[in-house]
Chain A
């Protein structure tokens, strides 16, 4: 069974950084692109970006490219999202997903507030 479990969310002050993790199991992690999607409270879905199997290609939505960094550790079957310079507009549930978004984690809430 494909399982994706996000962690690392919580309350963070504006301007600070936060790193999310996504632990994958039930499939061969290093055979798949992996991605991140977020959803602000009561809003729609926003694609953040995705990373290929050996981390040689990473694509981002342009508006987040300078703030967010996607990485992975194939030995640990873990995907990461490093977020910096956080603002209130980054308050959202963050989902990791196996590309092409066929399986999603349960999501982790990030709240940016002072």
Chain B
């Protein structure tokens, strides 16, 4: 199975700040990577697919980048509604696997 190592596990940031979350795959996943946002008590929502494509309706302050085994999610100009947990997921190879998640809080 492909292991997804996500960092940091938790993050505290101020409103308006830029935040970056990293995900490292145990092997090349050829941009088969998605990012999800999960707010407390809610189901996950797709943000980014194919490593850098923004899902419909997702604000443009979210962006994804990376290649090979290294990927990142960037949130520009952090808003209060961005407080959530974020997960990466590889779908290059079965079984699909998720990172452990990053909990983002406001400072």
Interface, chain A (partner B; CB < 8 A):
37, 44-47, 49-50, 59-62, 95, 100-107
Contact = CB atoms under 8 A, between A and B. Distances in A.
B87 A45 contact: yes
Chain A interface mostly: strand
B44 interface: yes
- The size class of the interface chain B forms with chain A is 20 to 34
A47 B94 CA distance: 10
A101 B87 contact: no
A82 to B, nearest CB: 18
B64 interface: no
Given A45-B44, A100-B34, A104-B45, A62 B87 contact: no
Given A104-B43, A104-B44, A107-B43, A59 B95 contact: yes
A61 B46 contact: no
A47 B87 contact: no
Given A61-B95, A102-B49, A104-B44, 11 more contacts: A44-B101, A45-B87, A47-B95, A50-B96, A60-B95, A62-B1, A95-B43, A100-B49, A100-B91, A101-B34, A107-B43
B69 interface: no
Interface string B55-94: 1000000000000000000000000000000010101001
